[in-house]
Amino acid sequence: MPKILAFAGSGRKKSYNFSIAKCAAKGANQDGIEVTVIDMSEFDMPIFNEDLEAAHGLPENAKKFKQLLMSHDGFIIANPEYNSGYSGLLKNAIDWASRKEEGEKPLQAFKGKYAAIIATSSGALGGIRGLVPLRMLLGNIGMHVLPNQLAVGGIGKLVDEEQNVVDEKTKTNLYAIGHTLAEALLQAAK
């Protein structure tokens, strides 16, 4: 059975993007697929630097994150938009996980895997501008990025005090993204 990893490119406490990643994961989980949701604040990594890598190898948290990527078939990635792009935290984590270690194929954590991309913000556009460069980045490292994506605007009014998505229309749309990823993985596994 395929496995999905869901995460947000944010380490912020009470991240809205983490909220929508968890919600979309529920949509995938309804299809009986195993879904793992991780909080990137638990995977603190130094800024990628080849000198650091040459001297010490991959940092421990980069290894843990990479192993999670390698053990899953698809990803739900919620991207906080930073200046019309993806977050530095997300790019840094991808850069570390893209490094080839002994016995691995190039880009083994990503190549041939599937991704559903989503975003949210307090603004009306919901982070949509950050999904374009994220789609390009993921495509360049060999991923199949689903054509449907979702940007949720005005998120502050759509979650409760615990940052759970409570707006029914938003939940339905996020569940649909997770469900579409699950269906794609099931189809690919046939």
Count of domains observed in the chain? 1
What is the helix (H) or strand (E) element at residue 141, kind and residue range? Answer: none
Half-sphere exposure (Cβ direction) of 155: Cα atoms closer than 13 Å: 27
Residue 31 predicted with pLDDT over 80: no
- 184 contacts 30 by C-beta, under 8 angstroms: no
Rounded Cα distance, 65 and 39, in Å: 11
> How confident is the model over 55-64, as pLDDT tens digits?
999 999 999 9
Q: What is the DSSP letter of 52?
A: H
Q: Give the whole-angstrom CA distance, residue 70 versus residue 156.
A: 33
Say how many CA atoms lie within 13 Å of 169 toward its Cβ: 7
Environment class of 12 (CB within 10 Å of its CB; exposed 0-12, middle 13-18, buried 19+): middle
Global pTM value: 0.97
Question: Among residues of the chain, what percentage have pLDDT more than 90?
Answer: 96
Q: How distant, in Å, are the alpha carbons of 27, 83, 102 from that of 48?
A: 33, 21, 19
Q: What is the pLDDT at residue 141?
A: 98
pLDDT tens figures, 106-140:
999 999 999 999 999 999 999 999 999 999 999 99
**Distance separating alpha carbons of residues 187 and 159, to the nearest angstrom:** 33
**pLDDT at 88 exceeding the cut of 90:** yes
- pLDDT, the chain, mean: 96
Domain range enclosing 64: 3-189
Q: Tell me the H-state helices in the chain.
A: 16-29, 50-56, 60-70, 88-97, 128-140, 168-189
CATH of the domain at 141: 3.40.50.360
pLDDT of 83 higher than 80? yes
Q: Across residues 21-43, what is the average pLDDT?
A: 93
Whether 150 contacts 173, CB under 8 Å: yes
pLDDT band at 29; cut points 50, 70, 90 = confident
Residue 32 has pLDDT above 80, yes or no: no
As a whole number, mean pLDDT of residues 87-100 equals 97
For residues 127-155, give the mean pLDDT: 97
